[in-house]
Chains A and B, each alone.
Chain A
Amino acid sequence: NAGVTQTPKFRVLKTGQSMTLLCAQDMNHEYMYWYRQDPGMGLRLIHYSVGEGTTAKGEVPDGYNVSRLKKQNFLLGLESAAPSQTSVYFCASSYSTANQPQHFGDGTRLSIL
Protein backbone atom coordinates (compact mmCIF):
# COMPACT_ATOMS: atom_id res chain seq x y z
CA ASN A 1 0.00 0.00 0.00
CA ALA A 2 1.37 3.39 -1.00
CA GLY A 3 -0.51 5.41 1.64
CA VAL A 4 0.59 9.06 1.42
CA THR A 5 3.20 9.92 -1.19
CA GLN A 6 5.00 13.26 -1.35
CA THR A 7 6.88 14.60 -4.36
CA PRO A 8 9.67 15.70 -4.49
CA LYS A 9 11.65 14.39 -1.51
CA PHE A 10 14.29 17.12 -1.67
CA ARG A 11 14.53 20.49 -3.37
CA VAL A 12 16.76 23.54 -3.27
CA LEU A 13 15.35 26.86 -4.44
CA LYS A 14 16.64 30.37 -4.79
CA THR A 15 14.84 33.22 -3.07
CA GLY A 16 11.95 34.39 -5.22
CA GLN A 17 11.48 31.15 -7.15
CA SER A 18 8.18 29.34 -7.11
CA MET A 19 7.39 25.67 -6.78
CA THR A 20 4.62 23.20 -6.04
CA LEU A 21 4.76 20.28 -3.64
CA LEU A 22 2.52 17.37 -4.49
CA CYS A 23 0.77 15.07 -2.02
CA ALA A 24 -1.15 12.01 -3.17
CA GLN A 25 -3.12 9.54 -1.03
CA ASP A 26 -4.77 6.29 -2.08
CA MET A 27 -6.93 5.69 1.02
CA ASN A 28 -9.99 7.65 -0.17
CA HIS A 29 -9.59 10.07 2.75
CA GLU A 30 -11.70 13.20 2.82
CA TYR A 31 -9.31 15.30 4.90
CA MET A 32 -5.82 16.33 3.90
CA TYR A 33 -3.26 18.55 5.63
CA TRP A 34 0.02 20.31 5.03
CA TYR A 35 2.41 20.79 7.98
CA ARG A 36 5.87 22.22 8.30
CA GLN A 37 8.44 21.07 10.80
CA ASP A 38 11.26 23.30 11.97
CA PRO A 39 13.97 22.39 14.50
CA GLY A 40 12.71 22.65 18.07
CA MET A 41 9.19 23.73 17.06
CA GLY A 42 7.21 20.58 16.39
CA LEU A 43 4.80 20.40 13.45
CA ARG A 44 2.66 23.39 12.53
CA LEU A 45 -0.43 23.26 10.34
CA ILE A 46 -0.18 25.38 7.17
CA HIS A 47 -3.41 24.61 5.30
CA TYR A 48 -5.92 21.82 5.27
CA SER A 49 -8.82 20.52 3.19
CA VAL A 50 -12.05 18.88 4.30
CA GLY A 51 -12.89 17.57 0.84
CA GLU A 52 -12.41 17.90 -2.89
CA GLY A 53 -12.61 21.51 -4.00
CA THR A 54 -12.28 22.98 -0.49
CA THR A 55 -9.29 24.41 1.36
CA ALA A 56 -8.81 26.36 4.59
CA LYS A 57 -6.06 28.13 6.49
CA GLY A 58 -4.19 26.57 9.37
CA GLU A 59 -1.80 28.18 11.86
CA VAL A 60 0.88 29.47 9.49
CA PRO A 61 -0.68 30.00 6.03
CA ASP A 62 1.15 33.15 4.92
CA GLY A 63 3.31 32.69 1.84
CA TYR A 64 1.60 29.45 0.80
CA ASN A 65 -1.34 28.51 -1.38
CA VAL A 66 -3.06 25.17 -1.78
CA SER A 67 -5.45 23.41 -4.13
CA ARG A 68 -7.52 20.24 -3.90
CA LEU A 69 -8.87 19.70 -7.42
CA LYS A 70 -8.98 15.93 -6.99
CA LYS A 71 -9.84 14.07 -3.81
CA GLN A 72 -6.61 12.13 -3.82
CA ASN A 73 -4.27 15.09 -4.38
CA PHE A 74 -3.40 18.13 -2.27
CA LEU A 75 -0.95 20.64 -3.72
CA LEU A 76 1.10 23.15 -1.73
CA GLY A 77 2.47 26.12 -3.63
CA LEU A 78 5.13 28.65 -2.79
CA GLU A 79 4.65 31.67 -5.05
CA SER A 80 7.85 33.50 -4.10
CA ALA A 81 10.10 31.41 -1.89
CA ALA A 82 11.82 33.04 1.09
CA PRO A 83 14.63 31.68 3.30
CA SER A 84 12.15 31.54 6.21
CA GLN A 85 10.32 28.82 4.31
CA THR A 86 13.28 26.47 4.57
CA SER A 87 11.76 23.52 6.38
CA VAL A 88 10.59 19.94 6.16
CA TYR A 89 7.05 19.74 4.80
CA PHE A 90 4.73 16.89 5.70
CA CYS A 91 1.44 16.00 4.12
CA ALA A 92 -1.17 13.95 5.97
CA SER A 93 -4.64 12.58 5.35
CA SER A 94 -7.48 11.19 7.46
CA TYR A 95 -11.14 10.16 7.27
CA SER A 96 -12.12 13.07 9.52
CA THR A 97 -10.55 15.61 11.85
CA ALA A 98 -12.33 14.29 14.90
CA ASN A 99 -10.51 11.28 16.25
CA GLN A 100 -9.36 9.39 13.21
CA PRO A 101 -5.63 8.75 12.82
CA GLN A 102 -3.73 10.98 10.45
CA HIS A 103 -1.49 9.20 7.97
CA PHE A 104 1.68 11.05 7.05
CA GLY A 105 4.02 11.04 4.10
CA ASP A 106 7.79 10.91 4.50
CA GLY A 107 8.24 14.62 3.94
CA THR A 108 9.80 17.05 1.49
CA ARG A 109 13.02 18.73 2.59
CA LEU A 110 13.05 22.22 1.10
CA SER A 111 15.97 24.64 1.28
CA ILE A 112 15.65 28.25 0.15
CA LEU A 113 18.95 29.99 -0.52
Chain B
Amino acid sequence: DAKTTQPNSMESNEEEPVHLPCNHSTISGTDYIHWYRQLPSQGPEYVIHGLTSNVNNRMASLAIAEDRKSSTLILHRATLRDAAVYYCILRDMIGKRGGSNYKLTFGKGTLLTVNP
Protein backbone atom coordinates (compact mmCIF):
# COMPACT_ATOMS: atom_id res chain seq x y z
CA ASP B 1 0.00 0.00 0.00
CA ALA B 2 1.20 3.49 -0.83
CA LYS B 3 1.68 5.50 2.35
CA THR B 4 2.13 9.08 3.40
CA THR B 5 3.79 10.73 6.37
CA GLN B 6 2.54 13.99 7.84
CA PRO B 7 3.28 15.91 11.04
CA ASN B 8 0.71 15.25 13.73
CA SER B 9 -0.03 18.93 14.26
CA MET B 10 0.84 22.42 13.09
CA GLU B 11 -0.05 25.89 14.22
CA SER B 12 -0.57 29.07 12.27
CA ASN B 13 -1.73 32.62 12.76
CA GLU B 14 -4.77 34.04 11.05
CA GLU B 15 -4.15 35.67 7.67
CA GLU B 16 -0.68 34.13 7.37
CA PRO B 17 0.27 31.47 4.81
CA VAL B 18 0.40 27.83 5.92
CA HIS B 19 2.57 25.14 4.37
CA LEU B 20 1.46 21.61 5.22
CA PRO B 21 4.10 19.02 4.27
CA CYS B 22 3.61 15.42 3.22
CA ASN B 23 6.15 12.71 2.42
CA HIS B 24 5.26 9.87 0.07
CA SER B 25 8.57 8.24 -0.82
CA THR B 26 6.97 5.03 -2.17
CA ILE B 27 4.68 6.80 -4.62
CA SER B 28 4.28 5.13 -8.00
CA GLY B 29 4.44 6.92 -11.31
CA THR B 30 0.68 6.93 -11.80
CA ASP B 31 -0.39 7.88 -8.29
CA TYR B 32 -2.13 11.20 -7.85
CA ILE B 33 -1.64 13.02 -4.57
CA HIS B 34 -4.94 13.92 -2.94
CA TRP B 35 -5.62 16.32 -0.08
CA TYR B 36 -8.75 16.36 1.99
CA ARG B 37 -9.59 18.16 5.18
CA GLN B 38 -12.04 17.45 7.97
CA LEU B 39 -13.55 20.21 10.04
CA PRO B 40 -14.82 19.36 13.53
CA SER B 41 -18.00 17.24 13.48
CA GLN B 42 -18.11 17.16 9.67
CA GLY B 43 -17.27 14.72 6.96
CA PRO B 44 -14.01 15.01 4.99
CA GLU B 45 -13.93 17.67 2.29
CA TYR B 46 -11.93 17.49 -0.93
CA VAL B 47 -9.26 20.18 -1.18
CA ILE B 48 -7.05 19.49 -4.19
CA HIS B 49 -5.18 16.79 -6.07
CA GLY B 50 -2.33 16.62 -8.55
CA LEU B 51 0.09 14.32 -10.38
CA THR B 52 3.29 16.16 -11.28
CA SER B 53 2.74 19.84 -11.85
CA ASN B 54 1.82 22.33 -9.19
CA VAL B 55 -1.92 22.84 -8.93
CA ASN B 56 -4.04 25.76 -7.83
CA ASN B 57 -7.70 26.12 -7.02
CA ARG B 58 -9.86 28.49 -5.02
CA MET B 59 -9.10 26.70 -1.77
CA ALA B 60 -5.37 26.05 -1.92
CA SER B 61 -2.24 25.33 -3.93
CA LEU B 62 -0.40 22.04 -4.18
CA ALA B 63 3.34 22.08 -4.72
CA ILE B 64 4.78 18.72 -5.80
CA ALA B 65 8.49 17.99 -5.57
CA GLU B 66 10.26 17.17 -8.82
CA ASP B 67 10.94 13.59 -7.67
CA ARG B 68 7.30 13.36 -6.42
CA LYS B 69 8.42 11.96 -3.09
CA SER B 70 6.96 14.88 -1.20
CA SER B 71 4.36 17.59 -1.60
CA THR B 72 3.15 20.67 0.23
CA LEU B 73 -0.37 21.97 0.59
CA ILE B 74 -0.36 25.76 0.73
CA LEU B 75 -3.13 27.81 2.26
CA HIS B 76 -2.31 31.33 1.18
CA ARG B 77 -4.11 33.18 3.97
CA ALA B 78 -5.28 31.02 6.85
CA THR B 79 -8.60 31.83 8.44
CA LEU B 80 -10.17 30.47 11.60
CA ARG B 81 -12.43 28.37 9.36
CA ASP B 82 -9.35 26.56 8.03
CA ALA B 83 -8.74 24.90 11.41
CA ALA B 84 -9.15 21.21 10.60
CA VAL B 85 -7.37 17.90 10.16
CA TYR B 86 -5.65 17.81 6.77
CA TYR B 87 -5.11 14.45 5.07
CA CYS B 88 -2.54 13.76 2.38
CA ILE B 89 -3.62 10.62 0.56
CA LEU B 90 -2.47 8.28 -2.16
CA ARG B 91 -5.00 5.86 -3.55
CA ASP B 92 -4.78 2.15 -2.73
CA MET B 93 -6.12 -0.65 -4.87
CA ILE B 94 -9.15 -2.40 -3.45
CA GLY B 95 -8.81 -6.17 -3.35
CA LYS B 96 -6.44 -8.20 -5.49
CA ARG B 97 -3.82 -6.81 -7.85
CA GLY B 98 -5.06 -6.37 -11.37
CA GLY B 99 -8.33 -4.86 -10.25
CA SER B 100 -9.55 -1.50 -11.38
CA ASN B 101 -11.06 -0.02 -8.26
CA TYR B 102 -9.21 2.17 -5.83
CA LYS B 103 -9.87 3.61 -2.43
CA LEU B 104 -8.53 6.55 -0.50
CA THR B 105 -6.82 5.49 2.71
CA PHE B 106 -7.21 8.18 5.34
CA GLY B 107 -4.43 8.18 7.96
CA LYS B 108 -4.29 10.42 11.01
CA GLY B 109 -3.51 13.60 9.10
CA THR B 110 -2.21 16.92 10.41
CA LEU B 111 -4.27 18.86 12.92
CA LEU B 112 -4.01 22.53 11.93
CA THR B 113 -4.70 25.09 14.63
CA VAL B 114 -5.22 28.69 13.51
CA ASN B 115 -4.66 31.38 16.11
CA PRO B 116 -6.61 34.65 15.91
Contacts and interface: CB of A to CB of B under 8 A. Distances in A.
Interface residues of A, number: 27
Contact of A106 (B34, B36, B43, B105): B43
Contacts of B76: none
> Would you call the interface of chain A mostly helix, strand, loop, or mixed?
strand
B108 to A, nearest CB: 6
A43 interface: yes
A74 interface: no
Contacts of B91: 97-99
B46 A48 contact: no
> Would you call the interface of chain B mostly helix, strand, loop, or mixed?
loop
B101 A48 contact: yes
A101 B48 CA distance: 8
A107 B43 contact: yes
Contacts of B41: 106-107
A58 B103 CA distance: 9
B96 to A, nearest CB: 12
A92 B87 CA distance: 16
Given A40-B108, A99-B32, A99-B91, A104 B103 contact: no
B94 A48 contact: yes
A56 interface: yes
Contacts of B34: 99, 101
A56 B106 contact: no
8 contacts: A42-B109, A43-B106, A57-B95, A97-B94, A102-B36, A106-B42, A107-B41, A107-B42
Interface of A: 4, 33, 35, 37, 40, 42-45, 48, 50, 56-59, 90, 92, 97-99, 101-107
